[in-house]
């Protein structure tokens, strides 16, 4: 704070109005303002805390001092330091009779305490008393505290008083009482459920402000329970009509708009009430149409109402006329220079696209501009829009864009969101499995730790299942391409764990399947992974299992297995691992290496992750063994049902129970009721199991045949028969079939209903649109993008992309057609019509004038760095204060004396306290001989809100 | 519902912070810092809206306006209209302007409690209470007057009043 340093204390004292503070507080603020580092600031605040602690403990602190201390406490707490040692003093201050002190006390406690704080109990009584006070300011202060400090338990203590206040003489009090009730409703709906009718009644309050306040709780109530408020639709429509017809007192106008905040709330409520309700919607057509006509789109607030209308129309069942109006408003928004309005336009598009899907097409270029805008907010909104309008014809472009953006941002929160959207779109609309795998790879590579583990398992399943039953060749190609892509990626540093798991699994299953890569090459890579990510046990587990599969395939095919030295050392390391899981896997691997080809093949058959495993529920393979046991004198097994018939024969029952167990020595009571489902467990494992268990699958010793089947069954968890496929096989299939056989135009034509591609051919003869002519040099790249996004007839970028897959891309000859799909739009006569930043209305100017001066002031101090002395001069409200330099005032002068300002000054003289000063300054400036000639438009823009 | 109102200067120093749901002091600081770091990374002349789910939980939006050395920030949920919130900042600033004639950062710094008074007349318990700066001014002036009156009576130190009485 350069300015603070030089500003005199007197000056600061002079500007404090009736809320004076002491020298100490000003010193504190000033020294904090001057501090150069956070550490210095902390030091100052800590010493301040010491001082306050001491002072608060002094006996007989004068009340005025105490108030001062409390304000200082609030201040240091805002700076992030604990001021709890003084809370009690703030609480005490609420008890004071003096209004100023009481209000200060309430201010402090509302900022300090939360509703469950222990000290609240000391305040409730005071609040109760103050709510009954004759002084409405006391009541207001208490209501303010009520909103913040009353919790569910204390609501009954103040509820009667608050309800009484609904009929208070002052409308300000009534308003606040309604809002306090609203707050109660939010905190604990049950506590005020019997009072809900009050809100309805207050809708008819004589004061429009109170009525407006009532809309807030009603909005909440209606969003919870639409049906029971349907009767109010006509009242709301009536109110809105009256408001728009300026039936309210002038004092409710804001920037020449009649009560805009009330209008917005009403529109929100009506959107709730009329959603999906034809008759209610119809009641609103008139007033909505009026709004579109009446709203002044040159002011911010006018646009706010227009936007609210669009939102409302997207919720109700609209008439075609209203849709047109909304579309027109949107196109105005999109053509505006203001980013805020563009944002609103994109948002509106996103809402309306649900109702009429072709609405976005006429704005394709605007949308693409927004996509490339430096404004992140706008970009995200646009991605949201794209997400909503994705279909199989444009999914590639959109997902590519999304991924590019995903890679470019650091914000993990949003990265997660956009990654999951990419995955969702890819799963839903993927044109080919190959593409799907590529997209997944990118997502995993750049946001692997942020995506759901399910996604990984879906990907593995896709690779394992491939295209389908009949096309083995394509399957193999797919797998090979997956393996190749993974071998490329695998050596990159710091891959996300989840991605490595997928890579390991795929390499294990299919790394050697094609014969292109040798087992030792793949296993070397896998060892590298296990080495490089030695702290990640999951990845290691996957890698070891993959190694095991590779060796198993080698052994099964009769080749001699050379275990690489690094593999050997890895296995040895894992044999001693602390993780029992890794240990188990290592032992299994070791055991497997010593088995013969036939056994190995039955343990880990090639590419069998998707095969059904026949689970022998009856365990018939044990029959011989049982026979043998019975022959050698064991009791035959009696099932539980049979057993329960003969419960009394306990001894028999004991021995029967464990017929399988060769050693008869161990029999305990606890074994009495074995679960009958034990043998059927493997079959349960066939169901797609929640993935985490895949990793921690139960491992059985490898030596017995039963355990082999067990192991197989757990291995097979990727087998997901009968589960609904996620990536929309039907749509994908239809698209490929169309692409392979039909020429592009026809393909588009057939799907006109979904992507509107047919427009191109029908409108190809139209002259280029005015939008086009206005911007003659539209980047052809953009046009191509537009075409591919919006289902235009052609896109060479897309055809480039797709040339490898020989897909359904259009011929290049039609490349300039999408231009014709841009609708005819008359050029905007007033280009900045919508830019509310421009000072179009005098009232705007009048209202914010001082900020210009402020800005000019800051500007100047920025320009000349140390020239803050003159800032002081300017800052002073005394116009005769000497302005010491001229350079720094220049910017201020220029705007003060330009012609438009002149008129404004005249109009302003009656309006506010500032005009006189401004004129005086102006005069001063002229006196000094500076005659600024041009206005400074950027300043204007900045300053006028 | 409005979740928070903040004013901070371009160096990230909070000048006023009011949260309509309770947060601990540490959390408040974290939020203020978080908001500032988002704001200062945004270039000029772009939209005034931000999705701020990452800081304030789902369905959180932020509108800000940059005046000279100050950021005015409103955080709110989906039940408010973004453009209208932008105008609410405008209302606040207009009111402050009337209040302090040519408001600047210093006024806000030095008139901490008055700031709260003004804000409380505009936003009440997270809902928009009043959007006419004239009305707000009227209310604030009433308060100042009454406070001044009560102040004159009881805040004069006893020694002084005794001395006066003589």
Taking CB atoms and an 8 Å limit, are B110 and A12 in contact across chains?
A: yes
- Mean per-residue pLDDT of chain B: 85
Taking the Cβ of residue A183 and every Cβ of chain B, the question of whether any pair is shorter than 8 Å is answered with yes
Pull the structure tokens for residue A142.
Answer: 């208490």
Taking CB atoms and an 8 Å limit, are B68 and A413 in contact across chains?
A: no
pLDDT for position A215: 92
**H-run or E-run covering B8:** strand B2-9
CB-based burial of residue A470 (10 Å sphere; 0-12 exposed, 13-18 middle, 19+ buried)? exposed
Please list the helix, strand and coil fractions of chain A in percent, rounded to the nearest 5, in that order: 70, 0, 30
Q: How far apart are CA B95 and CA B111, in angstroms?
A: 14
ipTM summary value: 0.89
Taking the Cβ of residue A182 and every Cβ of chain B, the question of whether any pair is shorter than 8 Å is answered with yes
pLDDT for position A363: 84
Taking CB atoms and an 8 Å limit, are B102 and A850 in contact across chains?
A: yes
Give Cα A543 to chain centroid, integer Å: 35
Pull the structure tokens for residue A787.
Answer: 């075409």
pLDDT for position A514: 74
Q: How far apart are CA A774 and CA A770, in angstroms?
A: 6
What lies within 8 Å, CB to CB, of A774 at 6+ separation is: A827
At residue A249, φ and ψ (nearest 5 deg) are: -60, 150
Pull the structure tokens for residue A687.
Answer: 């169901």
Q: Would strands B61-67 and B49-51 be described as parallel, antiparallel, or unpaired?
A: antiparallel
Taking CB atoms and an 8 Å limit, are B83 and A303 in contact across chains?
A: yes
> What are the C-alpha distances in Å from A522 to residues A237, A505, A537, B40?
72, 12, 20, 49
DSSP output for B62-84: EEEEEETTEEEEEEE-TTS-HHH
Give the nearest chain A residue to B16 (CA atoms): A78
For chain A, positions 270-309, list CB contacts with chain B under 8 A: 300-301, 303-304, 307-308
pLDDT for position A608: 66
Give Cα A121 to chain centroid, integer Å: 39
pLDDT for position A732: 40
Pair A450, A419: CB distance under 8 Å = yes
Token pair 């188990």 is found at A584
Give the nearest chain B residue to A114 (CA atoms): B22
Q: Would strands B49-51 and B14-19 be described as parallel, antiparallel, or unpaired?
A: unpaired
Pair A789, A398: CB distance under 8 Å = yes
Per-residue pLDDT reduced to its tens digit, B24-80: 889 999 999 999 998 988 888 888 998 888 889 888 999 999 988 899 999 999 889
Per-residue pLDDT reduced to its tens digit, A366-419: 888 888 888 888 988 899 898 988 888 888 888 998 999 988 888 888 888 888
Q: How far apart are CA B101 and CA A918, in angstroms?
A: 11
Taking CB atoms and an 8 Å limit, are A254 and B86 in contact across chains?
A: no
Taking CB atoms and an 8 Å limit, are A375 and B105 in contact across chains?
A: no
User: Three-class SS of residue B72?
Assistant: strand
CB-based burial of residue B77 (10 Å sphere; 0-12 exposed, 13-18 middle, 19+ buried)? middle
Pull the structure tokens for residue A669.
Answer: 């009571």
pLDDT for position A705: 42
Domain definitions of chain A by residue range: 1-13+20-112, 452-607
Taking CB atoms and an 8 Å limit, are B47 and A377 in contact across chains?
A: yes
Using CB atoms, pick whichever of B84, B114, B129 lies closest to residue A260. Answer: B84
Give the nearest chain A residue to B145 (CA atoms): A18
Which 3-state string (H, E, C) describes A565-614?
HHHHHHHHHHHCCCCHHHHHHHHHHHHHHCCCHHHHHHHCCCCCCCCCCC
Per-residue pLDDT reduced to its tens digit, B76-106: 998 899 999 999 999 999 999 888 888 888 8
Instruction: Show the low-confidence residues of chain A (pLDDT under 70).
Output: 1-22, 466-471, 606-613, 645-779, 790-945
Taking CB atoms and an 8 Å limit, are B46 and A75 in contact across chains?
A: no
pLDDT for position B85: 93
Cβ contacts of A845 on chain B, cutoff 8 Å: none
pLDDT for position B36: 93
DSSP output for A786-808: HHHHTT-S--HHHHHHHTTTT-S
Give the nearest chain A residue to B146 (CA atoms): A99
pLDDT for position B113: 82
B contact test, residue of A61, A115, A181, A377 with most B CBs within 10 A: A377
DSSP code for A639: -
For chain A, positions 380-439, list CB contacts with chain B under 8 A: 380, 411, 413-414
At residue A731, φ and ψ (nearest 5 deg) are: -65, -40
DSSP output for A224-250: H-SGGGGGGHHHHHHHHHHHHTT-S-G
Q: Can you state the angle between helices A565-575 and A580-593, rounded to 10 degrees?
A: 130
């Amino acid at each position: 704070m350069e300015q603070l340093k030089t500003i005199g204390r007197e000056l600061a004292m002079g500007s404090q109005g009736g809320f004076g503070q002491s020298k100490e507080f000003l010193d504190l603020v000033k020294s904090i303002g001057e501090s150069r580092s956070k550490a210095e600031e902390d030091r100052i605040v800590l010493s301040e805390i010491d001082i306050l602690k001491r002072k608060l403990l002094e006996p007989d602190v004068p009340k005025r001092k105490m108030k001062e201390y409390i304000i200082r406490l609030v201040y240091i707490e805002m700076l992030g330091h604990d001021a709890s040692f003084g809370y009690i003093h703030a609480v005490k201050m609420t008890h004071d009779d003096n209004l100023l002190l009481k209000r200060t006390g309430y201010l402090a406690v509302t900022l300090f305490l939360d509703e469950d704080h222990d000290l609240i109990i000391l305040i409730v009584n005071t609040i109760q008393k103050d709510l009954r006070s004759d002084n409405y300011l006391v009541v207001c202060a208490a209501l303010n505290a009520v909103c913040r400090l009353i919790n569910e338990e204390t609501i009954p203590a103040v509820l009667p008083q608050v309800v009484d206040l609904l009929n208070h003489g002052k409308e300000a009090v009534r308003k606040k009482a309604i809002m306090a009730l609203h707050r109660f409703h939010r905190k604990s709906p049950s506590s005020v459920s019997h009072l809900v009718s009050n809100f309805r009644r207050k809708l008819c309050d004589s004061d429009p402000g109170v009525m407006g306040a009532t809309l807030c709780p009603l909005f909440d109530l209606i969003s919870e329970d639409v049906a029971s408020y349907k009767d109010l639709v006509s009242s709301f429509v009536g109110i809105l009509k009256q408001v728009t017809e300026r039936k309210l007192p002038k004092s409710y106008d804001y920037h020449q708009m009649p009560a805009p905040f009330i209008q917005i709330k009403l529109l929100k409520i009506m959107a709730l009430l009329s959603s999906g309700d034809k008759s209610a919607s119809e009641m609103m057509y008139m007033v909505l149409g009026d709004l579109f006509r009446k709203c002044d789109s040159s002011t911010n607030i006018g646009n706010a109402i227009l936007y609210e209308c669009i939102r409302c129309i997207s919720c109700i069942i609209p008439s075609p006329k209203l849709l047109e109006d909304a579309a027109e408003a949107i196109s105005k928004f999109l053509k505006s220079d203001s980013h805020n309005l563009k944002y609103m336009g994109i948002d509106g598009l996103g809402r309306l696209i649900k109702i009429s899907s072709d609405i976005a097409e006429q704005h394709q270029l605007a949308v693409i501009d927004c996509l490339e805008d430096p404004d992140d907010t706008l970009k995200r909104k646009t991605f949201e829009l794209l997400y909503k309008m994705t279909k199989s014809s444009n999914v590639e472009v959109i997902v590519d864009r999304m991924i590019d953006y995903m890679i470019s941002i650091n914000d993990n929160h949003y990265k997660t969101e956009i990654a999951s959207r990419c995955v969702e779109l890819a799963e839903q609309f993927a044109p080919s499995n190959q593409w799907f795998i590529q997209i997944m790879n990118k997502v995993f590579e750049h946001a692997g730790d942020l995506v759901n583990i399910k996604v990984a398992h879906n990907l593995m399943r896709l690779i394992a299942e491939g295209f389908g039953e009949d096309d083995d060749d394509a399957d193999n190609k797919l797998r090979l391409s997956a393996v190749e892509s993974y071998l490329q990626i695998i050596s990159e540093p710091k891959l996300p764990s989840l991605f490595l798991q997928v890579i390991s699994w795929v390499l294990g299953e299919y790394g050697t399947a094609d014969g292109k890569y040798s087992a030792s090459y793949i296993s070397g890579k896998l060892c590298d992974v296990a080495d490089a990510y030695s702290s990640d046990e999951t990845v290691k587990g996957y890698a070891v299992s993959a190694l095991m599969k590779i060796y198993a395939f080698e052994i099964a095919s009769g080749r001699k297995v050379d275990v690489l030295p690094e593999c050997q050392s890895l296995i040895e390391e894992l044999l001693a691992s602390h993780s029992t899981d890794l240990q188990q896997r290592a032992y299994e691997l070791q055991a497997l290496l010593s088995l013969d080809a036939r056994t190995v093949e039955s343990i880990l058959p090639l590419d069998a992750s998707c095969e059904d495993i026949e689970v022998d529920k009856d365990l018939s393979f044990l029959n011989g063994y049982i026979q043998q046991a019975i022959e050698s004198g064991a009791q035959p097994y009696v099932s539980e049902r049979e057993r329960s018939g003969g419960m009394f024969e306990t001894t028999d029952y004991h021995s029967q129970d464990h017929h399988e167990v060769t050693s008869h020595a161990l029999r305990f009571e606890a074994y009495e009721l074995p679960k009958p489902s034990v043998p059927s467990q493997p079959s349960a494992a066939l169901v797609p199991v929640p993935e985490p268990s895949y990793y921690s699958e139960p491992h059985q010793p490898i030596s017995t045949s039963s355990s082999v089947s067990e192991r197989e069954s757990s291995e097979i968890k990727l087998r997901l028969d009968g589960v609904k496929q996620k990536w929309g096989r039907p749509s994908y299939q239809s698209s490929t079939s169309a692409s392979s056989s039909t020429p592009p135009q026809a393909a588009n034509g057939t799907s006109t209903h979904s992507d509107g591609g047919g427009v191109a051919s029908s409108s190809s003869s139209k002259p280029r649109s005015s939008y086009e002519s206005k911007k003659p040099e539209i980047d052809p790249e953009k046009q191509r993008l537009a075409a591919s996004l919006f289902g235009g007839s052609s896109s060479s970028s897309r055809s480039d992309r797709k040339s490898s897959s020989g897909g359904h891309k259009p011929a290049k000859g039609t490349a300039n057609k999408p231009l014709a799909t841009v609708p005819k739009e008359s050029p905007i006569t007033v280009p900045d019509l919508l830019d509310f930043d421009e000072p179009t209305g005098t009232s705007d100017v009048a209202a914010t004038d001082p900020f210009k001066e402020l800005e000019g002031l800051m500007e100047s101090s920025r320009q000349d760095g140390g020239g803050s002395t003159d800032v002081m001069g300017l800052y002073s409200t005394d116009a005769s204060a000497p302005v010491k330099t001229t350079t720094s005032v220049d910017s201020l002068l220029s705007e003060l004396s330009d012609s438009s300002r002149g008129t404004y000054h005249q109009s302003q003289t009656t309006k506010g306290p500032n005009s006189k000063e401004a004129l005086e300054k102006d005069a001063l400036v002229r006196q000094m001989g500076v005659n600024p000639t041009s206005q400074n438009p950027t300043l204007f823009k900045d300053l006028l809100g | 519902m409005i979740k928070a109102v903040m004013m901070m200067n371009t160096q990230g120093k909070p000048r006023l912070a009011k949260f309509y749901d309770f947060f601990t002091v540490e959390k408040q600081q974290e939020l203020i810092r978080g908001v500032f770091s988002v704001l200062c990374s945004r270039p000029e002349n772009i939209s005034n809206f931000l999705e701020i789910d990452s800081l304030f939980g789902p369905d959180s939006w932020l509108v800000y306006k940059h005046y000279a050395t100050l950021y005015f920030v409103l955080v709110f949920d989906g039940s408010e209209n973004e453009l209208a919130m932008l105008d609410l900042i405008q209302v606040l600033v207009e009111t402050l302007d009337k209040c302090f004639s040519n408001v600047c950062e210093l006024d806000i710094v030095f008139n901490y409690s008055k700031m709260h008074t003004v804000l409380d007349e505009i936003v009440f318990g997270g809902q928009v209470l009043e959007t006419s700066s004239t009305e707000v001014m009227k209310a604030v002036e009433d308060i100042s007057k009454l406070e001044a009156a009560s102040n004159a009576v009881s805040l004069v130190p006893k020694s002084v009043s005794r001395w006066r009485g003589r």
